[in-house]
């Protein structure tokens, strides 16, 4: 009988880690997920067909002593205070209080007590920059102190089969008593698909730009690659992508200029298009789906990471 992987998902969003495990046909049990934002929690429950009763909610209120044991902890902790698009305060503000990105330490509180075999984190590339060099070093030292060997690298989604330029840092931590020192990040693969392969044949009128929205489709933004228009590889999705105001990626067709549909956005993060249909049917708007997609992690990158991380102990397709 194949060993079952027990999973705790923190800062879950719409569950990219879980989707990667599903796509690899890994036998796993979701102990709990933890998502503070109500719309994201609802979307997670719809996509993964689980009860919202599994949601731990506010991570600062999670009692680690009452959690069931788990093998894998995933934690794509908030990027707002690290991202170049945010205020870049780092893990603490001017008063020494934890920022949203500082919730990393709440994840470590749980990890220190529960000691899972593996932990996987994802965040924006800026965490690996000179500005946050000391923060990253402090993170790695803390992981080392609580008993983990950690490996990190910045990976781009377009190098793992998805036509989406999205650089993110991935941190893989393996408990020292089981780490054989053999983990390697997956090598890039040839990109064989274009963004147009993901386009829908129909988009409703509310996806098409109004005259006032055309300012976002400027030559300057296209030249600087802040935006893309019918590009083979889209620029990085952000939380604005589902809106007509200040999105990043545009499609021009016979009807005019439009933003990408919810189905297109999710599929360009590695999720099934049908998930967008389910979310829309359950009252989640295209703007909300755009935000959820922009906040998510590219599933295909995680698939390749899990293949390298879990192949010795778990059956992988």
Residues 6+ away with beta carbon under 8 Å from 193 = 161, 162, 163
CA separation for the pair 145, 14 (Å, rounded): 31
CA separation for the pair 198, 266 (Å, rounded): 10
Show the beta-strand stretches assigned E in the chain.
5-10, 28-34, 72-75, 118-124, 148-156, 167-175, 228-229, 249-253, 256-259
CB 47 within 8 A of CB 279: yes
**CA dist 80 to 14, 35, 88, 144, 182, Å?**
17, 16, 7, 25, 33
**What are the structure tokens assigned to 98, written together?**
């934890």
CA separation for the pair 54, 108 (Å, rounded): 20
Catalytic annotation, residues = 79
Residues 6+ away with beta carbon under 8 Å from 147 = 115, 175, 176, 177
With CA atoms as reference, report the closest residue to 80 among 294, 235, 304, 316: 294
**CA dist 260 to 14, 263, 266, 268, Å?**
19, 8, 10, 10
């Amino acid at each position: 009988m194949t060993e079952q992987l027990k999973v705790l998902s923190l800062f879950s969003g719409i569950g990219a880690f879980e989707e990667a495990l599903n796509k690899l046909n890994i036998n796993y049990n979701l102990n709990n997920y933890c998502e503070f934002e109500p719309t994201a929690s609802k979307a997670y429950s719809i996509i993964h067909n689980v009860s919202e009763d599994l949601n731990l909610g506010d991570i600062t209120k999670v009692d680690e002593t009452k959690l069931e044991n788990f093998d894998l902890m995933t934690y794509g902790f908030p990027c707002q205070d690290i991202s170049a698009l945010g205020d870049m305060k780092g893990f603490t503000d001017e008063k020494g209080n934890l920022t949203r990105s500082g919730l990393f330490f709440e994840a470590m509180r749980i990890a220190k007590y529960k000691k899972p075999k593996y932990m996987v984190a994802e965040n924006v590339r800026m965490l690996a920059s000179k500005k946050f060099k000391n923060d990253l070093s402090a993170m790695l030292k803390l992981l080392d102190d609580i008993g983990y060997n950690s490996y990190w690298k910045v990976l781009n989604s377009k190098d793992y089969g998805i036509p989406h330029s999205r650089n993110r840092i991935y941190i893989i931590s393996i408990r020292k008593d089981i780490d054989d020192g053999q983990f390697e990040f997956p090598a890039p693969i040839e990109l064989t698909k274009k963004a147009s392969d993901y386009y829908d044949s129909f988009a409703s009128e509310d996806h098409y730009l109004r005259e006032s929205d055309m300012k976002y489709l400027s030559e300057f933004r296209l030249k600087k690659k802040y935006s893309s228009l019918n590009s083979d590889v889209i620029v990085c999705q952000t939380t604005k992508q589902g809106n007509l105001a200040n999105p990043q990626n545009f499609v021009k067709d016979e009807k005019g200029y439009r933003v990408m549909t919810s189905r297109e956005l999710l599929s360009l993060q590695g999720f099934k298009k049908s998930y967008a249909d389910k979310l829309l049917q359950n009252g989640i708007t295209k703007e909300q789906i755009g935000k959820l997609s922009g906040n998510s992690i590219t599933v295909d990158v995680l698939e390749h990471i899990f293949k390298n991380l879990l192949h010795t102990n778990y059956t992988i397709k």
